Amino acid sequence: NAGVTQTPKFRVLKTGQSMTLLCAQDMNHEYMYWYRQDPGMGLRLIHYSVGEGTTAKGEVPDGYNVSRLKKQNFLLGLESAAPSQTSVYFCASSRLDNSPLHFGNGTRLTVT
Amino acid sequence: DAKTTQPPSMDCAEGRAANLPCNHSTISGNEYVYWYRQIHSQGPQYIIHGLKNNETNEMASLIITEDRKSSTLILPHATLRDTAVYYCIVRRFGNEKLTFGTGTRLTIIP
């Protein structure tokens, strides 16, 4: 049972390049989330999804897009990367409502 | 969701109980208290949650005051592996979002 898997683990981008971060969960969870964490700060919610085919904005959605075409996958896209998007990105999933979140181990993205 | 206040850092001797406080004075009746921790740079790990009764699991105990305005996470016998950042979060029932603050950096001292 892998839980929540994030790929890639590390990536370096140049300003203006695009990329997609993949999150996959094998627990049949309904809810999925993308967070970013900057040094010395807590996690900030970017986008989330409450089910296949649905997405919603979190606290800091600008510059990101997401898709949830399959229940087990949640993709985070950066269309034109900026240095301000240098961060560690965490994906999480949960069953409905008050169930605890299960997190992946993060993707470390550097934009130069 | 109600905001939480935690001390930025704490130390605890190995083998002793670590008591981590959290203030959530604006909590409302349908909001749960959750605790997570983040070891080094790994993804956060769920510890425990509760509504108004005290809770215990294999990792920790959660004590919520009668007025629900504060809570304490207790790690009964702290080990070096418990060194981490601990997040106290208040989440309304049915709210999909979970908002993290900056947490308490707990250091276990040998």
Q: Is the pLDDT of residue B1 over 90?
A: no
Q: CA nearest B44 in A: which residue?
A: A103
The residue in chain A having the minimum alpha-carbon distance to the alpha carbon of residue B48 is: A100
- A42 closest CB neighbour out of B45, B97, B101: B101
Report whether pLDDT(B98) > 90.
no
**CB spacing of B97 vs A31 below 8 angstroms:** no
How confident is the prediction for chain A on average, in pLDDT? Answer: 93
Most B CBs within 10 Å, among A5, A43, A99, A107, to test the B interface: A43
pLDDT in tens, A26-45: 999 999 999 999 987 788 99
- Structure tokens given for B13: 């001797």
Enter the tokens of residue B2.
């109600």
Q: What percent of chain A has pLDDT over 70?
A: 98
The arithmetic mean of pLDDT across residues A41-57, rounded, is 92
Beta strands in chain B (DSSP E): 9-13, 18-23, 31-38, 45-50, 55-56, 61-64, 70-75, 84-92, 104-109
Task: Indicate the residue of B44, B91, B97 with minimum beta-carbon distance to A48.
Answer: B97
Would you state the pLDDT for residue B99? Answer: 77
pLDDT digits (tens, 9 = 90+) for B11-67: 999 999 999 999 999 998 888 999 999 998 899 999 999 999 899 999 999 999 999
